[in-house]
Chain A
Amino acid sequence: MATMPILPNMPVLDLVKSFKLKTKQQELLIRVSILCLVYVLAFITRLFSVLRYESMIHEFDPYFNYRTTLYLTQNGFYDFWNWFDYESWYPLGRIVGGTLYPGLMVTAALIYRILHFLRFAVHIREVCVLTAPFFASNTTLVAYFFGKEIWDTGAGLVAAILIAICPGYISRSVAGSYDNEGVAIFALLFTFYLFVKAVNTGSLAWSLASAFGYFYMVSAWGGYVFIINLIPLYVLVLLITGRYSMRLYVAYNCMYVLGMLLAMQIRFVGFQHVQSGEHMAAMGVFFLLQVFYFLDWVKHMLSDTKLFQAFLRITVTCAVAVGAIALGLGMLSGYISPWTGRFYSLLDPTYAKDHIPIIASVSEHQPTAWSSFMFDFHILLFLFPAGLYFCFKRLSDATIFIVMYGLTSMYFAGVMVRLILVATPAVCLVSAIAVSATVKNLTVLLRSKNKGVQTGSTKGSSSSKASSKALLDQSQPFQKNGAIALLFGAFYLLSKYATHCTWVTSEAYSSPSIVLAARGAHGSRVIFDDYREAYFWLRQNTPPDAKVMSWWDYGYQITAMGNRTVIVDNNTWNNTHIATVGRAMSSYEDEAIEIMRSLDVDYVLVVFGGVTGYSSDDINKFLWMVRIGGGVFPVIKEPDYLVNGEYRVDKGAAPKMLNCLMYKLCYYRFGEMLTEYGKPPGYDRARGVEIGNKDIKLEHLEEAFTTSNWIVRIYKVKPPNNRW
């Protein structure tokens, strides 16, 4: 009896069958491969500007973050935490360690250290440039898990895909945009996911994790106030609707106490969690929760309801009285500070315009137009209400949370353009529910018809079954065709969404702002690198202790790239100092030189777009300088610079406008310049007029440098004349 040889005689089909996976494993493979592809997609779609220009930091704020990260990697954490920067806000200086959110810098420095440990000798700038896309990829993973928690894995996958390419998120997380939001949105979604998981499971470990997530969010961005107000609001809603449970108590309490303690370790936040009006909601809900659950426990222990009613009355009146007295005392004595301007203007959008011009002047703080919503969300705009419907159909703790997050964030997105970013994860998640549920229902319809036919033909049918089958058969053909048509429609919409997102990313959100590009006469691309040209001129041609005065927009870039001391920068923490600079820019040269001498200014930098047609220059920002300066120094009056309420720079302009320092510095020697064919010399291409005052003479300043396209102009302050 010989043993049967197995291997050589095995037919090929059996071999192939042994590799065939079970359905569950197939599903897992598909899910993992989709997530891997989405991860890579989220990263590479943000690389447009790196491919088109070079790997550099964009905009204004990221330059400060880059400078601090550089300092951190060179000098270590202790020096960074206690850093006093004397190179900005001359002569005041700035306590950097106590006035920034360290999360972003520490994250980038950590990645840098890890890469160096693995012997990848990358420059810190590359790490900074690519931090935001890396965290965007991580956000897609978190969105998948969050979607899985709220609805099911299908919704999780769709959420991951939607958020990977959604323009609302890409706008602040493109490669080179090294700003707090790039990391903060990841932290926000992560914290929310951990909290919802904690509420669903009631486990202390998940609550601890959500406290750590909250700590990371606090260290990363000032928008953490949204979390510390949304979560108590959510708890309150659950209490009111009667969906509370023991799990909620465990989750919220652990997260609140530990999260608050961890948050107070960040010096910039300090004691705000117990002293600021914006954080009082969380504390109020904390105490309310204790009272509520204590009453619940007593009710459970007492069998007699009448006694319990008496007890309830006593306790509730005591608690409300104590709470009201404490709150009242706190607010009246000023111990609990009221809502700060930045957040108050979210509740009352007209507040900033009347009272705080600096907040009103930032372009990102303007109310959102419908076109911005469509631009940033596309089909998600109408999928969002559809998703809300599905959430209400299947209410659970998790869906209530996402509905509240979606509604509150959409309100705030409507008030301020910048906050579309915060609404994006909610909108993507809710829309993902709509897409997933719809597609699921449609495919179930498609599949059920086949199954019905099969069971009808194979099994014997009773009379009732036969009649129901007949009914099913009658409506079948339309249902199946309708389902197929709707599925094709959904596929078409989603592909349009993908096209739109890629187009938006490529056209609108990938410009570095510091390097400008335009189309030349023959369609060739012309690059204006004037900003960096000017900053490097400053770096190489001025004494190391020179002080540069410019409008606050350029402060961070001057200190980071020009390495010179500035008077004011983008931190805008001291309004009077900025108003002093604004006053200097708006005064006649004789008054301005007094102010500049008092501030030890050596160089003045202005941005001028008249030659290239660049419209974000200082002349267009000039009215804000006047308003901010006039807010502190009543000698500067805005009507002096306007003619009949109109802002002009041509011959009919106000005389104060034609002779103020800003006008003179921008248009010095511009009167002889021919900018456009067929137009007179001194034609300002950004305003589209010929300037009024062409013959400008400077008495106390001299021109030091003008870049090749006249975008940045630097002037040296002349020392006082000798007396003899």
Chain B
Amino acid sequence: MAREKSSKDNAQALFHSLRSAYAATPVNLKIIDLYVGFAVFTALIQVVYMASVGSFPFNSFLSGVLSCVGTAVLAVCLRIQVNKENKEFKDLPPERAFADFVLCNLVLHLVIMNFLG
């Protein structure tokens, strides 16, 4: 009983400290996190749909899922580069980071459109 209670306490303490730490992040990073969450959620929906309906044509499924995963990953890279706490990127202007992000997304979606079939 005591062990269960302590583990439940642990989980709650974990949850609370995560929540408070996350609330301290700046707004622009939270927007990027929201975008990443949305992209991953869309990818999950597509996977569930594929599991229920079947994977033909496979290239369309792959292009759909990979576009979501790809843009999520690129957004995480943008977040890393824009985050002021990362010492490695402190002399990278955020405009440059965003321009790289847009360019990579452009290439990603062009390839997706070719692959969609």
Residues in A lying within 8 Å of B, measured CB to CB: 202-205, 207-208, 211, 245-247, 249-250, 253-254, 257-258, 260-262, 264-265, 271, 274, 298, 300-304, 307, 310-311
Contacts and interface: CB of A to CB of B under 8 A. Distances in A.
B86 interface: yes
A315 to B, nearest CB: 11
Contacts of A258: 70, 104, 107-108, 111
Given A202-B88, A204-B101, A247-B88, A302 B18 contact: yes
A393 B66 CA distance: 41
A258 B18 CA distance: 32
Contacts of B97: 204
Contacts of A254: 73-74, 77, 104
A301 B22 contact: yes
B81 A265 contact: no
B111 A246 contact: no
19 contacts: A204-B74, A204-B81, A204-B100, A207-B104, A208-B107, A211-B107, A246-B89, A254-B77, A257-B74, A257-B108, A258-B108, A262-B111, A265-B114, A265-B115, A271-B58, A274-B62, A301-B21, A302-B17, A307-B13
Contacts, number: 93
Contacts of B89: 202, 246
Interface of B: 10, 13-14, 17-18, 21-22, 58-59, 62-63, 66, 69-70, 73-74, 76-78, 80-81, 85-86, 88-89, 92, 97, 100-101, 103-104, 107-108, 111-112, 114-115
A274 B50 CA distance: 15
Say what secondary structure dominates the interface of chain A: helix
A271 B59 CA distance: 8
A264 B115 CA distance: 8
A307 B85 CA distance: 22
A260 B111 CA distance: 11
A208 B104 contact: yes
A257 B109 CA distance: 12
A208 B103 contact: yes
B111 A261 contact: yes
What are the nearest 8 A-B pairs in CB distance? A204-B100, A301-B21, A257-B70, A250-B77, A253-B73, A307-B14, A261-B111, A246-B80
Given A246-B80, A253-B77, A304 B88 contact: no
A203 B100 CA distance: 8
Nearest to A203: B100
Nearest to B13: A307
Given A202-B81, A258-B111, A310-B10, 4 more contacts: A204-B100, A246-B80, A258-B108, A307-B14
Contacts of B86: 246
A250 B107 contact: no
A204 B17 contact: no
Nearest to B65: A274
Contacts of A207: 104
Given A261-B112, A265-B114, A298 B81 contact: no
A480 B83 CA distance: 53
Contacts of A246: 80, 86, 88-89
Given A205-B103, A254-B77, A257-B69, A302 B108 contact: no
A40 B66 CA distance: 44
A271 B81 contact: no
Contacts of B73: 253-254, 257
A250 B17 contact: no
Contacts of B18: 298, 301-302
Nearest to A298: B18
Contacts of A261: 63, 66, 70, 108, 111-112, 115
A262 B62 CA distance: 12
Contact of A271 (B13, B17, B62, B100): B62
B108 A249 contact: no
A205 B99 CA distance: 9
Contacts of B92: 202-203
B81 A303 contact: no
B53 to A, nearest CB: 18
A298 to B, nearest CB: 7
Contacts of B103: 204-205, 208
B36 to A, nearest CB: 11
A81 to B, nearest CB: 13
Given A204-B100, A271-B58, A253 B111 contact: no
A95 B105 CA distance: 34
Nearest to A257: B70
B13 to A, nearest CB: 6
Contacts of B66: 257, 260-261
B21 A204 contact: no
B48 to A, nearest CB: 16
A303 B17 contact: yes
A156 B112 CA distance: 38
A253 B76 contact: yes
Nearest to B10: A310
A205 B100 contact: yes
Contacts of B22: 301
Given A204-B101, A307-B10, A302 B21 contact: yes
Of A204, A253, A307, the most chain B CB neighbours within 10 A belong to: A204
Contacts of B63: 261
A249 B80 contact: yes
A29 B58 CA distance: 55
Contacts of A245: 88
B56 to A, nearest CB: 12
Of B22, B76, B86, the most chain A CB neighbours within 10 A belong to: B76
A579 to B, nearest CB: 33
